[in-house]
């Protein structure tokens, strides 16, 4: 695996990415990648700082004759989203990513690839070691835990960076330059209860599973109308409770706040006399879901499997309140940006629903490029769960990135893109959250843009990066650095 992708061009970028694939770096477990980057900076004799949050900053002096250029910070995040297929055995804290070439793409065996943002940080490492690239004063910023809450960017101190321009490498479509992004906020609702012990009376237990969905990035892919496993599961559970006296014992759907849930499952009990009819209903609902989503989801499955009877059930009032709240919870695109065709303004992702002893937790990520609409949708979702009797709290509120149509670096980037790649770039607004908004709040005078290679299906095991786009991304990035204007 290592040799195969390491021979791709540009060699320096793929060599570093090959090494990174062998370093476990799921969000929250970044000690090894931090150590690798710090050791790399020291090996080059460059000033290397690891701050108290876990961000790493490496400074590279200007090449001779370029000292008067505006100082630049190139930025990417170190963590990756740990998603795998249900039949894949993989421990993201220990096992390497098995990356391989699949035609025109690089992908991974049954897991997320980590090209988000691994290609970006590999490019930054390649720039730091380059002896031929001409550049002004450079800083390389590797941020901590972007995927779970942008904690590195949020913890960035206002006296760390010296740069005037920030180049973010976390976009996922080549040929696009981003000048703005959405902000976000996390909403958590919890139902607390005492487990209800019961004596089975001619009942059976069934595990109901929704699987085979595409999932994806809850910002980048939210407009595609992909099915949310939690919504499909609870839609069926409401029917099962109403028509078949089902009782809910356990539920687990989704596992990441910023990934559209691909799988969800629940254990229920029903009277044994209903078994045959109930299984027919499962098949009918699967056919209904395939009819509704067949043009989007090509492997959707709804299944029921008989399992051992549970010791406890979720109390019926809590069960009913939970099901009604999840069914009523708004999910997906809430509003497009008025006057800007095709760009999502506000959305929500019903990311996680899971039960444990005496507790059910629901996690939703709300995004918007409008602060007022973000708060309005948050209030609406909060109201649904409060009416259902849940405790609700919000956290991780981060700002969006306001567009600057007069950005000097945007002007240079457009000119460089046209000259180097012979194509006009599209200047766009991203619905997904980027660290630019948070960093810009701490460093309000930074001139910022974001760009990257073409990555498909980020945050899912189908993630892949287009090989040819990495080469073009590299040429554009290095030429842009060489053409940064003077102070």
Active site residues: 79, 146
Report CA 441 to chain centroid distance, whole Å. 22
Strands (DSSP E) contained in 264-343 are: 264-271, 301-307, 312-313, 332-336
The CA distances from residue 247 to 199, 254, 326, 417, in Å, are 13, 21, 16, 59
The C-alpha angle with vertex 92 and arms to 115 and 439, in degrees rounded to 5, equals 50
Cα→Cα distances 410→178, 181, 437, 441, 450, Å = 9, 15, 16, 19, 9
Cα 112 from Cα 91, distance rounded (Å): 12
- Give whole-number Cα distances, 101 to 8, 104, 109, 125, 331, in Å: 9, 7, 10, 22, 35
What are 303's strand-pairing partners?
Answer: 209
Q: How far is residue 249's CA from residue 269's CA, in Å, rounded to a whole number?
A: 8
- The DSSP line for 382-432 is HHHHHHTT-EEEEEEEE--B---TT-HHHHHHHHHHHHHHSSPPEEEEESS
Pairing state of beta strands 455-456 and 464-466?
antiparallel
- C-alpha–C-alpha distance, residues 219 and 92, integer Å: 23
Taking each helix axis from N to C end, the angle separating 31-43 and 11-21, rounded to the nearest 10 degrees, works out to 140
Closest CA to 144 of 258, 20, 51: 51
- Pair type for strands 176-181 and 165-168: unpaired
Q: Strand 344-356 to strand 165-168: parallel, antiparallel, or no bridges (unpaired)?
A: unpaired
DSSP state of 215: -
Determine the Cα–Cα distance for residues 314 and 317; give it in Å rounded to an integer: 8
């Amino acid at each position: 695996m290592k040799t195969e992708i390491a021979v791709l061009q540009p060699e320096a970028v793929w060599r570093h990415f090959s090494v990174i694939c062998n370093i476990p770096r799921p969000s929250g477990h970044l000690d090894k990648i931090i150590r690798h980057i710090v050791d790399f900076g020291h090996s080059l004799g460059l000033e290397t700082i690891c701050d108290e949050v876990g961000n790493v900053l490496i400074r590279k002096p200007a090449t001779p004759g370029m000292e008067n250029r505006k100082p630049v910070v190139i930025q990417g995040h170190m963590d990756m989203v740990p998603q795998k297929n249900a039949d894949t055995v993989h421990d993201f804290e220990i096992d390497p990513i098995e990356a391989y070439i699949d035609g025109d793409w690089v992908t991974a065996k049954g897991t997320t690839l980590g090209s988000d943002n691994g290609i970006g940080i590999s490019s930054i490492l390649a720039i730091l070691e380059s002896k031929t690239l001409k550049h002004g004063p450079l800083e390389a910023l590797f941020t901590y835990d972007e995927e779970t809450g942008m904690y590195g960017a949020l913890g960035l101190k206002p006296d760390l960076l010296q740069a005037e321009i920030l180049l973010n490498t976390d976009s996922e479509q080549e040929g696009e330059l981003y000048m703005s992004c959405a902000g976000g906020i996390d909403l958590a609702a919890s139902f607390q209860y005492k487990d209800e012990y019961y004596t089975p009376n001619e009942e059976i237990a069934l595990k109901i599973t929704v699987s085979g969905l595409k999932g994806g990035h809850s910002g980048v892919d939210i407009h595609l109308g992909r099915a949310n496993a939690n919504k499909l599961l609870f839609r069926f559970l409401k029917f099962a409770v109403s028509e078949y006296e089902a009782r809910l014992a356990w539920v687990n759907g989704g596992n990441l706040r910023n990934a559209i849930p691909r799988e969800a499952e629940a254990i229920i009990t029903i009277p044994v006399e209903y078994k045959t009819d109930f299984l027919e209903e499962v098949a009918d609902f699967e056919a209904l879901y395939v009819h509704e989503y067949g043009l989007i989801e090509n492997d959707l499955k709804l299944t029921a499997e008989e399992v051992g009877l549970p010791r406890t059930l979720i109390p019926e009032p809590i069960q009913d309140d939970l099901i009604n709240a999840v069914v009523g919870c708004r999910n997906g695109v809430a509003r497009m940006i008025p006057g800007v065709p095709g760009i999502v303004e506000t959305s929500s992702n019903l990311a996680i629903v899971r039960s444990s002893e005496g507790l059910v937790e629901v996690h939703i990520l709300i995004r918007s490029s409008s602060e007022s609409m973000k708060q309005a949708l948050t209030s609406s979702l909060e109201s649904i769960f409060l009416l259902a009797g849940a405790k609700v709290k919000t956290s991780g509120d981060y700002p969006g990135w306001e567009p600057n149509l007069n950005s000097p670096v945007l002007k240079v980037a457009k000119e460089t893109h046209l000259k180097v790649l012979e194509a006009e770039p599209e200047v766009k607004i991203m619905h997904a959250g980027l660290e630019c908004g948070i960093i810009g709040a701490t460093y309000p005078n930074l001139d910022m843009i974001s760009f990257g290679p073409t990555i498909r299906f980020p945050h899912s095991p189908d993630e892949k990066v287009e090989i040819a786009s990495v080469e073009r991304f590299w040429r554009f990035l290095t030429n842009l650095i060489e053409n940064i204007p003077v102070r």
